[in-house]
Structure 1
Amino acid sequence: MNNVLKAYNLHMGPAKCAVDLGDGSERGLYVNQDYILHKLGRPHRAINLMFCYYPLDEGFPERASIAHKSDKVTFAWGYPYDDYFPYKGGLHGTLDDEPFTLMRDVRRHGQDVLLTLTIDPHVSDEHLIAIAKDLTTFGRVLFRINHEATGNWFSFNKRCTYQEVADFYVRFHNIVKEYAPNVSTILCLDGVTSFTEDEIEKEEEFKEAVKVTDIWSVDKYMALHWGWPYDVAEKGGTSHKRDTVEQTYRLTKKSYERYKFLNNGESKPMVMSELNADGDVTGPYDQADMVKEFCNMLKTESSDWFSGFTFYQFRDDGRLGLEITDPNNKDVGIEQPVLKTYKEIIHDDYFSPVMTQTEEISLPVTLRWGGSEDATGLSIPLHFAENPVFLEVRFEDEIKDLNLMMEINGKWFYKAPGVTVVDMISAFFEKPLNKACDMTLKLFAPPASGENDSSQGKDWAINYYTTIPKLPQVRLRFAPIEP
């Protein structure tokens, strides 16, 4: 067994462009974070979970397509309320059901929660306060309220004027700031939709929301079949579209510039909360090429105005996923060409968090998890005489119950509490070494429960602390045990 002699402080900071991932929606089920981590090889900045809250409606909290099942529905949003999975918290709700079980899974795997919630604007402040309080223990939550708010398909738009939707956003934002200051709000509009126009859609109604929100956003699909699953996209059809990659990029940038103008010239983070090209329209190969081209534009232009994007989504019942759902078994995903392309993108330095190593540490050491863009961990130097045959990290005694995210050779691994051995040799399957080298084993400690601990101090809502009493042992071998 190799005794680890040294370790150094390590800070994880934001990427030049963050990458988030949608996991579950009206078009697909949630996929657990262990599976996604093994498929993609790294955690994301955040995982987007899409839910709805219509507590005043008959049938809620059952999913709309179940509570109001009808053969007459011919559109994904043709139900009395939005067909996302129901948010089970809020007033008189519970924290023991979705989305909170999923949020805990996301956070224990070293990622932030990006919660998308469509909500009836007619609910009282008591409902909104309850939702805000639900989110207080989940660290630096990103909260997208009533997204695509200048559209006409969601139930909140059918029930209210655009001004009422905008006023509701401001009202809910202010409640979030009072009761859950750990949460950042995302305003998602259509933005500027034409090169011949300067204003964003419904600009007059939403100008106050643009000013108060924490983050600006648009959803831009380079190709989309919105008629799915009720028709098939064919040439000459009217339920799909395809734009160029350049047009998508330029309209997103123009939207940012208009947001900034409305905010008296002051900038805020700008994200694209849903990005993809629908394989129903493009086929699988152009889909991958368009995603790659968009990300290459971000890199080539060093787009410092753009903070990040959310790929929609991991597994999709249609063709908007890195995997498509096996219709014979919804627990099985069928990998698409875009998965390999996306994996290459997110492992690029431009889209990866920045690691900064500082001074050597002495034990015990306390690590801080502030979130996926602000955490302190450990960097443990290892020497590789050649490509390894065995690489195991062993946790015994007082460190076996640690909850950890670890990385080596560009691949990340999760260690759950109680796990004593993590086999990391798969980090060298796709990237074998061809000569001797030195590299570091990186280690971070997000909360094992997925929630922050109010007993940890004044900053508990945004920081979680873990004490490491000793370092793990590393078993590193460069030949089979028996030749």
Structure 2
Amino acid sequence: MSEIKKIHMGPAKCAVDLGDGSERGEYVNQDYILNKLGRPHRAVSLMYCYYPLDETWPARARNAFKDKEITFQWDYPYDDYFTYKGGIGGTTDDEPFTCMRDVRRHGQDVILTMTIDPNVTDEHLEQIGKELSTFGRMQLRINHEATGNWFSFTKRATYQQVADFYIHAREVIKKFAPNVQTILCIGGVEHPEKGGEIEMEKEFADAVRATDIWSVDKYMALHWGWPFDVADEGGNSFGRSKVADTYNLTKLSEKRYRELCGGVKKPMVMSEFNADGDVTGPYEQAEMVKEFCDMLKNDKDQGWFNGFTFYQFRDRGRLGLEIEDPNNADCGIEQPVMQTYKEIIHDEYFYPEMKSEGDAQFPVKLRWGGSEDAEGIEIPLHFEKNPTFCEITFEDEDADLNLMMEINGKWFYKAPHAKTIDFMSAFFEKPLESEADMTLKIFAPPASGENVNDGSEDWMLNTYSTITKMPNIRIRFAPILK
């Protein structure tokens, strides 16, 4: 147990991100999600809006306009997302910052979706940049689904103005937060028989060239009339596609984006992905998600697709791994897609790459650059058989560390106030059938969830922690008899 090694965590062949909270569901804390799914995600997607010029701001639309007759989710004067409490005159002690800190403490990057009034001044964008500068290698999705007509920003500006605003907003924000990468989410190729152009190509071509990351949102089935009607035979507020059609349109979109950039490759992601159980039912939902992921794995043309965000963890409708319990919003009802999704994210193809990088010794310094670039340690462990007790305890000098740890394929979080972590749940679903050697992997995301400006050149991208000595790892193979 003394031969510890340095280890580097890098990107998976295909990243998996998770939506957590939106107009359809509340934010679920990362401890609960980690315990349910057994591993952290590359990133967690949070959805907010910013319309600070409106008289009712920052009240959420459903509260500000509760007396307004609504027959469609996006009929409010501004989008019914959680409201971004930062900005000019705002605070970083509220959402989304409290959620962003929770996400990063648990070894995940942040994807922040923001619908923004295209009429805000540069001072608003500058303030947003300053507020995001401490959150490491995060991604910002500005005015997503921009070629649609449902979000409020498309009703306040022309599509050309929306595209120009995207380019300008990213430039201003990145001056103050160069750590942030921006995602352009538009319609992509929808009608290949009409020449293979993306939706509104004339208006958005420059935005495609300017952005850091390309994206489309693809629901293989969706009930867009939710929650105002029921998806049933003869209705017209829902639809579904073949999995292969969804896959091929996504691939054609990436191809066209590349052509518009003169062959330059940028990361291609699907920022919202699922099949709506309102349309498919719970069993076909799981089957369609698996079929799409199998197509990704089996595609001989690898490298064109970089990741997807499953929308979402808990949903008031049927777009979640859990359905929100109508009797208690704090409870979720697991759906069949949960187990399917767990199998997908634990598959090697969707799992972060781990590389040993030589010997290490205590005290050892760990670097956290993000979920796709982190330096930790691995401790070799020998198991005679399936354990009865397996736990780790940190001495006082290391007790305040913030850690993510993995053993036997299951990840555990250690908050700064915790000294002992029980690893036995790693052996409940995957019990050892015989003697085995494995490693305990340890990484150290920032305890506050933010990077601290300590004057170093890399402070926006990296944080550092030191483990001073070997923790006490207690492994026993029989119950205590007396």
Question: Shorter chain as normaliser: what TM range?
Answer: over 0.9
Q: Which residue of 1 aligns with 2:265?
A: 267
Q: Which residue of 2 aligns with 1:141?
A: 138
Matches for 1:103-142 after TM superposition, within 5 Å: 103-142=100-139
**Which of 137, 159, 163 lines up with 2:160 in the alignment?**
163
Matches for 1:238-387 after TM superposition, within 5 Å: 238-302=236-300, 303-387=302-386
Looking at structure 2, the residues matched to 71 and 55 of structure 1 have their Cα atoms a distance apart, in angstroms, of: 20
**Which of 7, 19, 26 lines up with 1:10 in the alignment?**
7
Once structures 1 and 2 are overlaid, which stretch shifts more, 69-78 or 335-344?
Answer: 69-78
**Which of 198, 222, 225 lines up with 1:224 in the alignment?**
222
Looking at structure 1, the residues matched to 168 and 68 of structure 2 have their Cα atoms a distance apart, in angstroms, of: 37
In the alignment, residue 161 of structure 1 is paired with which amino acid?
T
Matched, 1:446 2:445: yes
Offset of residue 71 of structure 1: 5.3
Looking at structure 1, the residues matched to 197 and 326 of structure 2 have their Cα atoms a distance apart, in angstroms, of: 43
Looking at structure 1, the residues matched to 187 and 297 of structure 2 have their Cα atoms a distance apart, in angstroms, of: 24
**Which of 167, 172, 197 lines up with 1:199 in the alignment?**
197
Matches for 1:42-57 after TM superposition, within 5 Å: 42-57=39-54
Give the secondary structure class of the aligned counterpart of 1:476: strand
Offset of residue 70 of structure 1: 3.0
In the alignment, residue 158 of structure 2 is paired with which amino acid?
T
Q: Which residue of 1 aligns with 2:391?
A: 392
Once structures 1 and 2 are overlaid, which stretch shifts more, 88-97 or 329-338?
Answer: 88-97
Matches for 1:50-65 after TM superposition, within 5 Å: 50-65=47-62
Q: Is the 8 A contact 1:404 1:445 kept in 2?
A: yes
Give the secondary structure class of the aligned counterpart of 2:466: strand
Give the secondary structure class of the aligned counterpart of 1:220: strand
Matches for 1:29-44 after TM superposition, within 5 Å: 29-44=26-41
Matched, 1:406 2:405: yes
Q: Which residue of 2 aligns with 1:417?
A: 416
Give the secondary structure class of the aligned counterpart of 1:6: coil
Looking at structure 2, the residues matched to 145 and 177 of structure 1 have their Cα atoms a distance apart, in angstroms, of: 13
Q: 5+ unaligned residues in a row in structure 1: which ranges?
A: none
What do the CA deviations read for 1:324-348 (whole angstroms, capped 9, x no partner)?
A: 0000000000000000000000000
Looking at structure 2, the residues matched to 136 and 71 of structure 1 have their Cα atoms a distance apart, in angstroms, of: 38
Give the secondary structure class of the aligned counterpart of 1:450: coil
Looking at structure 2, the residues matched to 306 and 105 of structure 1 have their Cα atoms a distance apart, in angstroms, of: 28
Once structures 1 and 2 are overlaid, which stretch shifts more, 342-351 or 64-73?
Answer: 64-73
Looking at structure 2, the residues matched to 236 and 297 of structure 1 have their Cα atoms a distance apart, in angstroms, of: 31
Q: 5+ unaligned residues in a row in structure 2: which ranges?
A: none
Looking at structure 1, the residues matched to 460 and 220 of structure 2 have their Cα atoms a distance apart, in angstroms, of: 38
Looking at structure 2, the residues matched to 194 and 299 of structure 1 have their Cα atoms a distance apart, in angstroms, of: 25
Once structures 1 and 2 are overlaid, which stretch shifts more, 410-419 or 169-178?
Answer: 169-178
In the alignment, residue 277 of structure 1 is paired with which amino acid?
A
In the alignment, residue 11 of structure 1 is paired with which amino acid?
H
4+ aligned runs moved over 6 Å, structure 1? none
Once structures 1 and 2 are overlaid, which stretch shifts more, 256-265 or 189-198?
Answer: 189-198
In the alignment, residue 392 of structure 1 is paired with which amino acid?
E
Q: Which residue of 2 aligns with 1:236?
A: 234
Looking at structure 1, the residues matched to 111 and 203 of structure 2 have their Cα atoms a distance apart, in angstroms, of: 25
Give the secondary structure class of the aligned counterpart of 2:433: coil
In the alignment, residue 207 of structure 2 is paired with which amino acid?
A
Offset of residue 456 of structure 1: 5.9
Looking at structure 2, the residues matched to 139 and 462 of structure 1 have their Cα atoms a distance apart, in angstroms, of: 5
Offset of residue 177 of structure 1: 2.4
Looking at structure 2, the residues matched to 193 and 358 of structure 1 have their Cα atoms a distance apart, in angstroms, of: 45
In the alignment, residue 221 of structure 2 is paired with which amino acid?
A
Q: Which residue of 1 aligns with 2:434?
A: 435
In the alignment, residue 89 of structure 1 is paired with which amino acid?
G
Offset of residue 17 of structure 1: 0.1
Looking at structure 2, the residues matched to 331 and 54 of structure 1 have their Cα atoms a distance apart, in angstroms, of: 28
Measured on the aligned residues, the alpha-carbon RMSD in Å equals 0.9
Looking at structure 2, the residues matched to 71 and 229 of structure 1 have their Cα atoms a distance apart, in angstroms, of: 16
In the alignment, residue 402 of structure 2 is paired with which amino acid?
N
Q: Is the 8 A contact 1:74 1:230 kept in 2?
A: yes
Offset of residue 6 of structure 1: 2.5
What do the CA deviations read for 1:256-281 (whole angstroms, capped 9, x no partner)?
A: 00000111111100000000000000
Matched, 1:94 2:85: no
Looking at structure 2, the residues matched to 54 and 196 of structure 1 have their Cα atoms a distance apart, in angstroms, of: 38
In the alignment, residue 413 of structure 1 is paired with which amino acid?
F
**Which of 55, 62, 67 lines up with 1:70 in the alignment?**
67
Give the secondary structure class of the aligned counterpart of 1:271: strand
Give the secondary structure class of the aligned counterpart of 1:359: strand
Q: Is the 8 A contact 1:369 1:375 kept in 2?
A: yes
Looking at structure 1, the residues matched to 434 and 455 of structure 2 have their Cα atoms a distance apart, in angstroms, of: 45
Q: Is the 8 A contact 1:456 1:464 kept in 2?
A: no
In the alignment, residue 374 of structure 1 is paired with which amino acid?
D
Give the secondary structure class of the aligned counterpart of 1:417: coil
Q: TM-score, normalised by structure 1?
A: 0.98
Offset of residue 20 of structure 1: 0.2
Matched, 1:19 2:16: yes
Give the secondary structure class of the aligned counterpart of 2:193: coil
Matched, 1:180 2:177: yes
In the alignment, residue 91 of structure 2 is paired with which amino acid?
T
What do the CA deviations read for 1:85-131 (whole angstroms, capped 9, x no partner)?
A: 00000111111000000000000000000000000000000000100
Offset of residue 362 of structure 1: 1.8
In the alignment, residue 411 of structure 2 is paired with which amino acid?
W
What do the CA deviations read for 1:222-276 (whole angstroms, capped 9, x no partner)?
A: 0000000000001121100000000000000000000001111111000000000
What do the CA deviations read for 1:206-228 (whole angstroms, capped 9, x no partner)?
A: 01100010000000000000000
In the alignment, residue 164 of structure 2 is paired with which amino acid?
D
Give the secondary structure class of the aligned counterpart of 1:373: coil
Q: TM-score, normalised by structure 2?
A: 0.99
What do the CA deviations read for 1:381-432 (whole angstroms, capped 9, x no partner)?
A: 0001111110000012101100000000000000000211000010000000
